[in-house]
Every structure is written in structure tokens, then in C-alpha cells.
Amino acid sequence: MKHIFLVFLSIVLTANLTSCKESKGSEKILTQEITFKKDGKISLYKKATDSLITTFDMETAEGDYETQTGLMYRKGMPSDAGMLFIFDSSQPRAFYMKNTEFPLDVVYINENKVIEKIYTMTTPMDPTSLPTNVPVKYVLELNGAVTSSLGITEGDRVEWTLE
């Protein structure tokens, strides 16, 4: 009887170990990379001359989910692109780089579409707050160092068109 019990126990343990291995191997986490989705164009103009500095393809972030996620979990963004966050009202705002894998320039824009504050070459994955301290209604995220390389400064203005 003891021999039969040991054989039975051996079969049960082998079956359990095999099924555990199979279930672990069959669990796959599928992820899909989030890609840039062009919603329009955004143009930046020099304050002093009102001359066009540059134009970018633009993706918009509206609503709670898009606004909270922004460019998080993405590997990058095209060099001629930016993400515009559109809010319902003007108020002091603060963004951060948590879960953002590449450096950005964060451009805060008031309700008159004038740039109030720029953070350039932010640090990827950094949870430190990047506040405005003044009311803004829009935030534009560009690839890191774009504002300094193009001479975009506070006081310059923006215009955009949605497609």
C-alpha cells in the first residue's frame, strides 16, 4: 500500500510541476508601442519681429487620460513633432518626467498663446515637479534642446491648426 501511495504521490507532483511550467510559459505580456498621431500643426513666432521661427507636426492631449499620460511610455518622438496639452482653464501647472524615457523641452503657454516658461532638456524618468507659478492654459512638449537650438524664448508666441 505504501508503494502505491508513493507512486500516486509521484504522479500528482509531476503533473502539478508540469502544469505550472506550462502555465508560466504560456503567460505572455503583449505591449504595443505608442506612436505619434498627427492632429495638426503648431507654429512658433518670435516676439520681437513676429517672424515665423518654425512649424511642428502636433499631437494633442485632451481629456484626463491623454493629459495624465502625455508622452510617457514612449521611446521617442519625431524630430519635427510636439505634443500640445489643451486645458479648459488657465491656472498654475506643473508637469514632471516620471515614466518619460527621453528628454523634453516643456513649454508653458498662457491663454493668449504667449510662452510664459520653458524647461529645456528635462531629465528622463525624473519625478521632480516643473512648475509654472503663473496661470497657463496650454503646455507644449518638444524634443529636448529644440527650444534652445531654434532660439525659442519666453515671450514668443504660438498658433496652431487642427486637422
CA distance 143 to 41: 16
**pTM greater than 0.75:** yes
What residue spans define the domains of the chain?
40-162
Angle at CA of residue 96, ends 93 and 102, nearest 5°:
135
pLDDT in tens, the chain (163 residues): 544 444 444 444 444 444 334 444 445 554 566 778 899 999 999 999 999 999 999 999 977 878 888 888 888 999 999 999 999 999 999 999 999 999 999 999 999 999 999 999 999 999 999 999 999 999 999 999 999 999 999 999 999 999 9
User: What amino acid is encoded at 50 in this protein?
Assistant: D
How, if at all, do strands 52-61 and 81-91 pair? parallel
- CATH number for 40-162 (one of 3.90.1010.10, 2.40.37.10, 2.60.120.1140, 2.30.30.830): it is 2.60.120.1140
How crowded is residue 141: how many other Cβ atoms within 10 Å of its Cβ? 25
